Amino acid sequence: MAGNWGVIVVDMQGDFTKWKQGSLAVPGSNENYVKTVEEATRKLGGLGLPAIATQDWHPPDHVSFATSHPGKQPFEQIMIDGKTETLWPPHCIQGTENARVLLDNNLFLAIVKMSQDPTVENYSAFQDGRGVKTELDTLLKRNGIDKIIIYGIATEYVVQATALDLLAAGYKPVVIENLCRGVTRDTTAKAIDDMKGRGIRIVGAVDDIMEEIGRGL
């Protein structure tokens, strides 16, 4: 039986945007970008595609924050659990204004929170760095979704990690490149190549897959 299309909108939160002068604002994240993402999500919803948002939702003392490591600066690398990790400025702290999802929340069936364990570095909305799953898999299965349009922030972190986990779990993720924004140009380009190399489909714009969606393919 052919499954259904669904949409995952990644971490469209104030702290990642220039629009809201976020602490980890990525290039190209002005108000116009956010509104473009909102309109695309509304349009896909109008075609009957259910959408799920993800929300980076850190406790204030999260291990990925530079402030949790005395003497360290944002964007320095350190070893956490045997892995080299980048330290970030504090961002998306639970219950702060800039942790809000900026799109109309009524567009979403659910908003899946991530990064809640203070001790675990995490970029996937599917599971955390220790393999503890969020409710994303259950929500997709409950709605019979197996083909997933995915876009948002940041291309080379949560978009990439989530798309790879979805692929590994048997879903078919399609990344919409012009609705994604990355932290840097080089790492974003590398992430796109890397995803392609692993068999994830990347399309330039939502319009590129409209026909397939319309025909239920």
- Residues of this chain that interact with Zn ion (CB under 5 A) are 56
C-alpha–C-alpha distance, residues 116 and 198, integer Å: 28
154 binds, among ligand VGL, Zn ion, none (CB under 5 to 8 A by kind): ligand VGL
Is residue 34 a contact point for ligand VGL (CB under 6 A)? no
C-alpha–C-alpha distance, residues 178 and 185, integer Å: 13
C-alpha–C-alpha distance, residues 25 and 15, integer Å: 6
158 binds, among Zn ion, ligand VGL, none (CB under 5 to 8 A by kind): ligand VGL
**Any residues with CB less than 8 A from the CB of 152 and at least 6 apart, and which?**
8, 9, 10, 11, 12, 37, 54, 158, 159, 179, 180, 181
Asked if residue 182 lies in contact with residue 158, where contact means CB atoms within 8 angstroms, the answer is no
Residues 56-85, one symbol each (x = binds ligand VGL by CB under 6 A, - = not), give x-----------------------------
Residue with tokens 């220790």: 130
128 binds, among ligand VGL, Zn ion, none (CB under 5 to 8 A by kind): none
Q: Which is nearer to ligand VGL, 11 or 165 (CB)?
A: 11
* Given 153, 174, 176, 192, the residue binding ligand VGL (CB under 6 A): 153
> What residues make contact with ligand VGL under the rule CB under 6 A?
11, 56, 88, 153-154, 157-158
